[in-house]
Each structure stands twice: as structure tokens, then as C-alpha cells.
Amino acid sequence: MSGNITLTMIKPDAVKNNYIGAILAKINEAGFKIKAMKYTKLSVEQAREFYAVHKDRPFYNDLVEFMTSGPIVAAILEKENAVEDFRKLIGATNPADAEEGTIRKLYAESMQNNAVHGSDSDENANIEANFHFSKTERF
Ligand code: GDP
């Protein structure tokens, strides 16, 4: 199944704005199957680890603060070409640059508070799926 999964998080801004249902509907309409899902809140340690690749970027501390500011929904999504197709569905990192109809265009607040996460490679999809879910939590 490698290559067919991606990891998403509905971020604290979208949860706070009551967009969980609308975003999950978009995900299902686009043909993704939900293999695992949980409503949770990241600890500071978890957020720092998840975004460790950005630890030298000027926005790292703000990002960690934002990602721990409230609950998130994490999910493993399955579809052929999942990583690339999901990146298309969510749109550009900055919602101002995102295409019409994309999740970030519709539901994001800003470059940082951009509604959803999507893995950027098959390798990271597997690392991020393992970060959030054990084997017994996947269906
Ligand atoms: P993504 O793959 O589209 O999520 O983007 P990146 O991997 O480059 O960045 C990870 C996350 O960090 C983004 O989704 C944003 O939430 C946040 N981020 C990225 N760039 C910036 C920035 O310039 N400023 C701030 N405050 N946050 C940013």
C-alpha cells in the first residue's frame, strides 16, 4: 500500500471555525477513504517533533504555539496517488495563492492558520501516519 496513503490534520483554526464536517465531506467527495482518524490535541513536544524539519525557520515557535492552541483531527487517507492528489485538493500553503475550490482557499485564515496539513512525500506520509496511529487504529 506504500504510495497510496497520506496524512492529514485538520488544524486548530479550522476546528475552531467549525469546518471539520465540511472538510471531511470534501475529502470523501474527492475519493479518499479514511483509514484512521482521531480527535486529539498535540502536546508542545509532539508539535515540535512533527515540525522538526522547520526548527530553524523563523516561524517555528509560532507554528508550534498555533498547532497546540486547540484540538485537531488527524487522519490517514487512502487513494491512488494520495500525496499528490491531496496536495492538489488542499491548495497552496498560503491561502491567498490557493486555487478556487481548494480546501485552503475555502477554509484557511492565513499562511500559518491554513486549515489543513497534507504530507509532502510518500516517505513523510508513512512517517507521519506512524507518528499519529498504531497498527490497531487503522482499518
Ligand atoms: P505545507 O507543506 O503547505 O503545509 O507548508 P510547509 O511545510 O512549508 O510549512 C508547514 C506549515 O508551517 C504550513 O502549513 C503553515 O501552517 C506554516 N508556515 C509555513 N510558512 C510559514 C510562514 O512563512 N509563516 C508562518 N507563520 N507560518 C508558516
Asked if residue 113 belongs to a domain, the reply is yes
CATH of residue 73: 3.30.70.141
According to the model, what pLDDT value does residue 27 have? 98
- Tens of pLDDT along 43-60? 999 999 999 999 999 999
Nearest residue (CA) to ligand 1, atom 11: 112
The SS3 assignment for 72 reads strand
Q: What is the DSSP string of 90-136?
A: H--SSGGGSPTTSHHHHH--SSSS-SEEE-SSHHHHHHHHHHH--GG
**Alpha carbons within 13 A on the beta-carbon side of 66:** 20
Other beta carbons less than 10 A from residue 123's beta carbon: 11
- Tens of pLDDT along 59-79? 999 999 999 999 999 999 999
- Tens of pLDDT along 75-112? 999 999 999 999 999 999 999 999 999 999 999 999 99
The one-character DSSP state at 88 is H
Asked if residue 18 belongs to a domain, the reply is yes
* Total count of domains within the chain: 1
Asked if residue 88 belongs to a domain, the reply is yes
- The label of the residue with cell 470534501 reads 26
Catalytically annotated residue among 117, 126, 132, 133: 117
Asked if residue 139 belongs to a domain, the reply is no
DSSP β-bridge partners for residue 77:
6, 34
Model confidence, pTM:
0.97
| Residues lining ligand 1, Cβ inside 6 A | 59, 62-63, 93, 111-112, 114, 117, 120
Q: Which atom of ligand 1 is nearest to the CA of 51?
A: 10
Cell of 67: 498547532
Asked if residue 77 belongs to a domain, the reply is yes
Cα 66 to ligand 1 centre (Å):
11
Instruction: Give residue 17's domain range.
Output: 5-134
Q: Which amino acid is residue 33, in one-letter code?
A: K
Cα 136 to ligand 1 centre (Å):
31
Asked if residue 68 belongs to a domain, the reply is yes
Backbone angles phi, psi at 116, to 5 degrees: -145, 155
Across the range 7-32, mean pLDDT stands at 98
Q: Does 37 score more than 80 pLDDT?
A: yes
